[in-house]
Structure 1
Amino acid sequence: MSADQGGRESGASLRLGPQGGWVQVPDGRWKRSWFWMKRVWDLFRGDRSLIAIAALATVLNVLAAALLFGLAAALLGSGHDMRLTVGVGAALFSYPSTAVSTYCNVALLRMAQARFDGRHCSLGDGFRAANERLGAILGWSLVAVVVGFLLRQVAERIPLGGVVLSWIGGVAWSLATMFAVPVLAVEDVGPVEAGRRSLEIFRARWGEGLVGTIGVGAITALASIPGILALFAGIAVGGAGGIAIAVAGAALLAAAWTTSRAMEQLYALAIYRDQVAGEPSFGLGGEQLNDFMKLKRRRGR
């Protein structure tokens, strides 16, 4: 029996095409989590197309924020409270920002899906795949924005414990939906089904989900320190030199944030692939994927 056939039958090995052949996935939640973390980092840093699409999402969000906050300031005029301007700008920005991020992430994951399988996928192919899922992307973005709005209302309207409840709800929502974008990118489902499927996968792989979330967050925090220091140093120095230092700090922060967001999605895709298929063949329809999940649960995987 060949090594490839042994990997397929045992389910103990997964193929990451760009890395070549089959690779052994270690046992244990922590070891598996760091294994996938290193794999997706190697994939991301070695692929300019993935970096470009992640950077594009950041640039579009920055431009949208500047445009919509500027529009809010123009509509309200200079006589209004700055907090009101920020609030209106945030309300205007919320949905476009979420939709743009989700759209770019779906394109990113479709490209990464091809890379994992050892196939070529250009930027154009990634965006065409995202265009095909546009309705589901816009629907999911609306769901996410509505949930965020409801959580903010809880924080504002419930005295004392509202902020705590809102924070707990936000964390629970983030964890439960961490696989929603991979589901949207790979499966032909709508926004509600994507949320349900994400929760189903999280229940099965909550350990890896938590480790990945905490790991990416910790690494991002460390990577952000130089940018934060440079930003505050630039403000303290002032003048043309201070502006240059502050701009460099802001660029470092943007790079750290961009990498963090991309790593979160790529890591979720890796865990999704491992959970849903457990092998390098992903040409399954939605019904077949659900049947495969049920079979794996019966086997105790």
Structure 2
Amino acid sequence: MEGVTRLRGGWTSQMRRLEVRGPGGRRWLVLRSFTKPFYVRHADGLLTREADVLRLLAETPVPAAELVAVDATAQYCGHPSLLMTLLPGSVRLEDSGAGRRADVLARQLAGIHRLPVEGAARPRTYQAWTSPERVGRPEATARPELWERAVDVIRREPPPYEGCFLHRDFHPGNVLFTGDGGDLRISGVIDWVETSWGPADLDVAHCSTALALLHGVDAGMAFAGRYAAEGGTLSGDRAAHLYWRLLDALAFAPDAEKVAVPWRELGRSDLTPAVLGGRLEGYLQALFERYV
């Protein structure tokens, strides 16, 4: 081991870049370690799933890290950990160039959803990240009826769907970019611990919510169209699509502070709780205006 550097932007885990030297020369790896009690308790399932997904993706065009080793139960490491290769590029969260990046994100997500994953390789069925009883409504909202209306939508049974391979946490904070302008490309998609099988609408919903919080409501509302333009397929039932969009957005309530912590660490100090809360509420309103 010749050097260790903490990587910024993680929320669920500690990420460190390792510089190592061996018989094959110098190489750079990334060590992901779960240290928070909740994630330590669930580390066996999460890290084992990510290791399996990285093995699967090694045979596909998706730019993902190569698995080196995994210790999901902390048998050898101080904390449950996964070791993988270092991918080139960086996370880009700035407003400048956000539209161009969104096009590239949509193309990448559509490609992930088209992966032919069958039989034992198919991941678990998706899990919802909120429920009507768990939604945290903002106390200071001037539109409580909007929140009640949104919660009422997700009280219904989930709509039927045609399943596909989901990243399940696909958003700009989990994508690495290189180049600019016409040379802009995705060099890596990271954080595969929540990979699932479910509706493409749910992955699109998650990225849409993140874009609305990062860049404003219009950015979030435009992503589904960008995804469709790249050949992605969404539910033709507007009510079903609205269900998946709201199921994701309401998991961020009341103010999306959880995602703001790593985003601010990466330079987005403007994303205060007030800004994020306002954008989330505006996004809910925009969804109803478009899909009802």
Same fold by TM-score greater than 0.5: no
TM-score between the two structures when normalised by the length of structure 2: 0.27
TM-score between the two structures when normalised by the length of structure 1: 0.26
Q: Whose strand proportion is higher, 1 or 2?
A: 2
Q: Whose helix proportion is higher, 1 or 2?
A: 1
